[in-house]
Amino acid sequence: MNLHSSGKLFSLLPQNYQVSISSTRVLASLLFSTKTPTKPLSSSDSSTLRRRIEAIRDPRASIVPVLDQWVKEGNNVDKYQLVSLVRLMKDYKRSNHALERAGLIQVSEWMTGRRFFTLTTEDAAVRLELIHRVRGLEEAENYFNKISVKLKTKYTYGAILNGCVREKSVQKAEAVMQEMREGGMATSSFPYNILIILYSKTGDLDKIPPLVKEMERNGIDRDKYTLRNLVVASVAASDISGMERILKLTEENPELGLDWKLYAMAADAYLKIGSIDTALTMLMKLEKLMAFRKKKAVFNFLLSLYAKTGNKHELYRIWNLYKPSSESMETSYRCMINSLTKLDDIEGAEKIFEEWESQCTTMYDFRVLNGLLVAYCNRGLLEKAEAAIEKAVQGRTPYASTWHLMAKGYAEHDQIPKAVEMLKRAVNVGRGWKPDPILVNTCLEYLEGQGDTEEMKEFIRVVKN
């Protein structure tokens, strides 16, 4: 199906075009908003509560009893402090994102359940988002159905619609959208944008042109997210000409503001069909936009895409031009190492790793080393991998993932005894982490074949823990 077969799907935008806010940014801002802002946590007014929450060792345990006791003792509490405390959980055995969200749900329910705070429609929208992510869409729907009519606004409808889209539930999403239309809440680009995402994912591409036409009829401006989503839909429909029309539209209309992500998407689409030269042209355009920003995310996109082109010269040019100094450099170094190993430039990857390691003066991020170890293991260079780890572990504790990928490397090269030892180390380090079941099975089969019952029992005990 051709997305621009319906006529003016990609017609010029109105002169009064304005960019709307994405749902993610809305939810993030709502999460930390409060009607009466208060000062951040300080050691004088909340350190005791903080210590009590830190003392909860079980990441699945509820913090509600701690909060109840705090108030029972006559202490004050406010919204800002509660959210700040919950965020601290990720530093204390609550680094799992789902558990952190679960903690936020507990706080939200505790605040309104104890009548300390009045639940706003924004608060309800955030809770819907959290409930969906932690407990599933059905629980979110149950909560939505129970809230008062007063709280059922574009915010809460938007949150439940977003959940339906994430679950790829077309029927439910369309039903929610219809209620938003009937209630006069489909007045921004947001619900249309996420429905376009949904139809792209489910292959219902024929539903997108009528949706865009509806936006036009209702005078709803298409923003940069609309255009990005239409590019995704064009690529999904193998409609390169439709994608090119959107790019031309943005280039010919300065009021839209050129979007580097459109060029990144276009470059990736051209790479998938083998149009390397055209993809390189898109990357050069992307780079011109990036030059004014030098955002880390843009830089990493460039590295990954240039690696896909197979053009090592351009990859090094970008690296030398924009490589990071000390700020958030781990992610970019990891990206460059991975890009070079994809081009089979192991020597270059080693030099980049040594450059990073020489500058690493704070916490050692083993994920940077992991990229190099994967390359070594894939090529059977296990001695090099062992030497790199031996140097890195001096005074440091590797991540579970570091030992785990070494275990996989040994297993793939029939060194099962070493794989067993590495997997045991990985499990002993990691918490809330699960090893590759195929790798576990390989190690168990080896131990069973050796007839070492005691060793097998010990291995099973370690893995079960």
Q: Does the pLDDT at position 9 exceed 80? A: no
> Do the Cβ atoms of 114 and 99 come closer than 8 Å?
no
User: Using CA atoms, how far apart are residues 84 and 89, in angstroms rounded to an integer?
Assistant: 9
Mean pLDDT of 385-397: 91
pLDDT at residue 97, rounded to an integer: 46
User: Using CA atoms, how far apart are residues 114 and 3, in angstroms rounded to an integer?
Assistant: 52
The dihedral through the CA atoms of 161, 162, 164, 168 has a sign that is positive
pLDDT at residue 291, rounded to an integer: 62
Q: Does the pLDDT at position 23 exceed 50? A: no
Mean pLDDT of 222-228: 87
> Do the Cβ atoms of 117 and 83 come closer than 8 Å?
no
Q: Does the pLDDT at position 40 exceed 60? A: no
Mean pLDDT of 230-238: 90
DSSP state string for 310-323: T-HHHHHHHHHHH-
Q: Does the pLDDT at position 365 exceed 80? A: yes
Pick from 339, 357, 358: nearest CA to 348: 339
pLDDT in tens, 47-100: 577 777 767 666 566 777 877 788 888 787 766 666 666 555 544 444 444 445
Q: Does the pLDDT at position 290 exceed 80? A: no
pLDDT in tens, 175-184: 999 999 999 9
pLDDT at residue 403, rounded to an integer: 94
Mean pLDDT of 220-225: 88
Find the distance separating the first CA and the last CA of the chain, reported in whole Å.
52
More confident residue, 64 or 442: 442
User: Using CA atoms, how far apart are residues 55 and 139, in angstroms rounded to an integer?
Assistant: 30
Identity of the residue numbered 219: G
More confident residue, 345 or 108: 345
pLDDT level of residue 19 (50, 70, 90 thresholds):
very low
More confident residue, 63 or 414: 414
Identity of the residue numbered 286: L
Distances from the Cα of 423 to the Cαs of 282, 407, 439, in angstroms? 44, 6, 9
Name residues whose C-beta falls within 8 Å of residue 24's C-beta, 6 or more positions apart in sequence: none
pLDDT in tens, 133-164: 888 899 999 999 999 999 999 999 999 999 99
Q: Does the pLDDT at position 445 exceed 70? A: yes
Q: Is the pTM of this model over 0.85?
A: no
User: Using CA atoms, how far apart are residues 85 and 394, in angstroms rounded to an integer?
Assistant: 34
pLDDT at residue 58, rounded to an integer: 63
Mean pLDDT of 260-265: 89
Q: Does the pLDDT at position 222 exceed 80? A: yes
Pick from 421, 349, 355: nearest CA to 378: 349
Mean pLDDT of 351-372: 89
User: Using CA atoms, how far apart are residues 333 and 57, in angstroms rounded to an integer?
Assistant: 34
Identity of the residue numbered 81: Q
pLDDT at residue 12, rounded to an integer: 28
> Do the Cβ atoms of 257 and 19 come closer than 8 Å?
yes
pLDDT at residue 415, rounded to an integer: 95
Q: Where are the domains of the chain?
A: 399-465
Fold of domain 399-465: 1.25.40
3-state secondary structure of 413: coil
User: Using CA atoms, how far apart are residues 420 and 436, in angstroms rounded to an integer?
Assistant: 12
User: Using CA atoms, how far apart are residues 259 and 311, in angstroms rounded to an integer?
Assistant: 24
Mean pLDDT of 388-398: 90
More confident residue, 134 or 3: 134
